[in-house]
A and B are shown apart, each in its own frame.
Chain A
């Protein structure tokens, strides 16, 4: 199993550009989520999904869109990048069978918006 994979690893954008961060998992997990981590800070939940076709907002959803067309993939779209979105983005997944499962994190995407 590859676990949770994210692409790209690094990305530089100009203000106003859009892009999609990719996340995929091969563990057949129902739950997937996106976090952002700013320097020296904890993780903040952006959006999450409890299964294909179902998504919901987390703590800091503004400026981001998600969709979940398959169990495996959960892309995060930045609609119009802003310098405040400079951060490291982590995707995570876990099974929903129990309400208390460890989350498996991807390696992260380091995004810089100029």
Chain B
């Protein structure tokens, strides 16, 4: 079942912060975050695993609440380059390659 992302869209000014949420009704093994710019392929940002291990981007942080089956992506001091659509992908088993993606959150950062 597809994870649910919120909000669907957000507009920021440069330097402002944003939080994007991803929740699932199923038990999760890992949550993956990707960013996609218009007309381009998705680009990897972050992986979060059960047990708290993280692997990913230097300037973007995220959390994974295993009990609630939720993950949040934190974008701090946003830059124009952060604009794009953010997708979370969830994996239910340690076959972490089989991802189910959410519908996306469109982020626009204005000067």
Asked if B96 contacts A90 (CB within 8 A), the reply is no
B56: nearest chain-A partner, CB-CB: A102
Asked if A99 contacts B94 (CB within 8 A), the reply is yes
Asked if B102 contacts A100 (CB within 8 A), the reply is no
Interface size classification for chain B: 20 to 34
For the complex, is B65 an interface residue (Cβ under 8 Å from A)?
no
Which B25-75 residues sit within 8 Å CB-CB of chain A?
29-30, 32, 40-44, 47, 49, 55
Contacts of B41 in A (CB 8 A): 90, 105-108
**Shortest CB distance B74–A (Å):** 19
Tell whether A43 pairs with B87 under 8 Å between CB atoms, given A48-B97, A96-B97, A100-B49.
Answer: yes
Asked if A99 contacts B42 (CB within 8 A), the reply is no
Q: Which of A44, A50, A102 contacts B47 (CB 8 A)?
A: A102
A101–B96 alpha-carbon span in the complex (Å): 8
Binding site for B on A (CB under 8 A): 31, 33, 35, 40-45, 48, 50, 58-59, 90, 94, 96, 99-108
